């Protein structure tokens, strides 16, 4: 126990705040940065085991390169009496698991808000080729304002580390485990996306979908059983959430969301626009509303033949001709909008610029410069006397997040007030 000691003449160890099978986490005061930090130190009994040292050092090398508002920041690495450690950001808050135990399920709005933050952090890790492999509510910190940060990349895997398949070992928490990992396959982006789907289910219902006696029993359920409907727990929840969860947790990795950005877009549509209608793709929405559906059998052939008026003029034949022509025009317009235009105008991406310290008017200019011309700025005032009044200190989507350039995007900017 090192509580009360000073590490490397810099870190005053105050107390033990967490312990796990691999490492202990201490609250410490950093004399150089002049603030509290968290120090994650490999357990003494494991410091002689080369495999654990290699794994711990891999985490250290990966997390120090990750910078994102929704990922716990890492400041430095070091060694104390042959025990390696990582100096990390100290988060005042609790784990999402403890938060859910205290208050129960999140509201749909809260679940979407929290999920988007988590997804943005995971997307940043994936951008750098890092698969988390252990996404669970115990590894996510949350504060009273529902701001979240992903922690514990202890078993994270670089996407090009093909030699580290962990043969015959199930890595990660079994309640959130993708079926392919239970079979011993290598973790991929799709594996993390599966865990994100389980997290959304947990946020909305307050519980994980599969329970049982023993890890093998639960793993088998992930491999064989469909995820229960969230509507079975709360009937008033929109079917949108079942769609997103099902898409993220498909048994076959190739059938899940191709990347986290696609998942984020569906989360935003579910929350803002209200109905996914089986998906956010324009094609799928139009298929539910276009008038082609009743044109079946013999009428289908007639609808494709240009109208020919009868030899003898009649008012009824004129009306029929107008209706047939209007129908053909509608079909052509739908075809152009659904098939031709999407192929010519692919959605572009950009990143949320750093508008910290700016006013909302100045942020408007910054958003325009990166292509977010039609973005709607929603101003949220937060009381904070330590920051000059009226300045932006946070955004949602978070600063640096990659987003699609779409019309009517809403960007929340948090500004300070001294009232």
**Is residue 195 within a helix (H) or strand (E), and if so which, with residue range?**
helix 189-205
Distance between CA atoms of 99 and 170, rounded to whole angstroms?
A: 27
Burial group, residue 169, by CB count within 10 angstroms (0-12, 13-18, 19+): exposed
Distance between CA atoms of 151 and 95, rounded to whole angstroms?
A: 10
CB-hemisphere CA count at 13 Å for 226? Answer: 7
Distance between CA atoms of 105 and 114, rounded to whole angstroms?
A: 12
Question: Is 134 known to be catalytic?
Answer: yes
Distance between CA atoms of 123 and 259, rounded to whole angstroms?
A: 8
Q: What is the dihedral of CA 328, 329, 331, 333, to 10 degrees?
A: 170
**57 and 36 in contact (C-beta within 8 Å)?**
no
Phi-psi region of 397 (alpha: psi -120 to 50; beta: other; left: phi over 0): beta
**86 and 65 in contact (C-beta within 8 Å)?**
no
Distance between CA atoms of 399 and 195, rounded to whole angstroms?
A: 24
Distance between CA atoms of 157 and 38, rounded to whole angstroms?
A: 23
Beta strand extents in 352-409 (DSSP E only):
376-383, 392-396, 402-404
Q: Which of 19, 30, 98, 134 is catalytic?
A: 134
Handedness of CA 208, 214, 219, 225 (dihedral sign): negative
Q: CA separation (Å) from 84 to 41, 54, 60, 61, 64? A: 6, 10, 9, 12, 14
Distance between CA atoms of 12 and 37, rounded to whole angstroms?
A: 10
List residues with catalytic annotation: 134
């Amino acid at each position: 126990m090192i509580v009360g000691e000073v590490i490397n003449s810099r870190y005053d160890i105050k107390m033990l705040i967490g312990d796990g099978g691999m490492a202990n986490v201490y609250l410490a005061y950093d004399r150089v940065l002049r603030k509290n930090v968290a120090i994650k130190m490999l357990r003494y009994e494991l410091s002689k085991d080369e495999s654990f040292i290699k794994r711990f050092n891999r985490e250290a090398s990966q997390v120090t390169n990750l910078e994102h508002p929704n990922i716990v920041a890492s400041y430095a690495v070091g060694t104390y009496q042959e025990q390696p450690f990582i100096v990390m950001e100290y988060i005042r808050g609790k784990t999402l698991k403890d938060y859910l135990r205290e208050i129960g399920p999140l509201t749909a709005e809260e679940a979407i808000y929290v999920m988007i933050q988590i997804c943005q952090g995971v997307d940043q890790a994936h951008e750098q080729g890092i698969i988390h492999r252990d996404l669970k509510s115990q590894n996510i910190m949350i504060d009273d304002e529902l701001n979240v940060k992903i922690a514990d990349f202890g078993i994270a895997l670089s996407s090009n580390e093909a030699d580290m398949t962990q043969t015959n070992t199930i890595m990660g928490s079994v309640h959130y485990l993708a079926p392919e990992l239970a079979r011993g396959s290598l973790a991929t982006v799709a594996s993390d996306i599966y865990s994100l789907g389980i997290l959304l289910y947990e946020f909305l219902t307050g519980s994980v979908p599969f329970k049982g006696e023993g890890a093998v029993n639960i793993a088998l359920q992930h491999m064989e059983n469909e995820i229960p409907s969230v509507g079975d727990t709360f009937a008033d929840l929109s079917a949108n959430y079942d769609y997103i969860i099902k898409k993220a947790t498909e048994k076959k990795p190739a059938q899940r969301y191709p990347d986290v950005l696609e998942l984020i877009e569906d989360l935003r549509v579910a929350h803002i626009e209200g109905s996914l209608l089986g998906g956010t793709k324009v094609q799928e929405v139009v298929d539910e509303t276009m008038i082609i559906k009743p044109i079946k059998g013999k009428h289908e052939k007639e609808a494709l033949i240009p109208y020919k008026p009868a030899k003898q003029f009649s008012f009824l034949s004129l009306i029929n001709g107008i209706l047939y022509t209007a129908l053909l025009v509608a079909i052509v317009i739908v075809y152009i909008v659904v098939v031709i235009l999407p192929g010519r105008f692919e959605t572009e991406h950009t990143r949320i610029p750093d508008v910290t310290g700016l006013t909302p008017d100045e942020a408007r200019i910054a958003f325009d410069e990166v292509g977010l011309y039609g973005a709607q700025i929603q101003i949220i005032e937060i009381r904070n006397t330590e920051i000059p009044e009226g300045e932006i200190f946070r955004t949602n989507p978070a600063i640096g997040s990659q987003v699609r350039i779409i019309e009517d995007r809403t960007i929340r900017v948090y500004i300070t007030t001294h009232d």
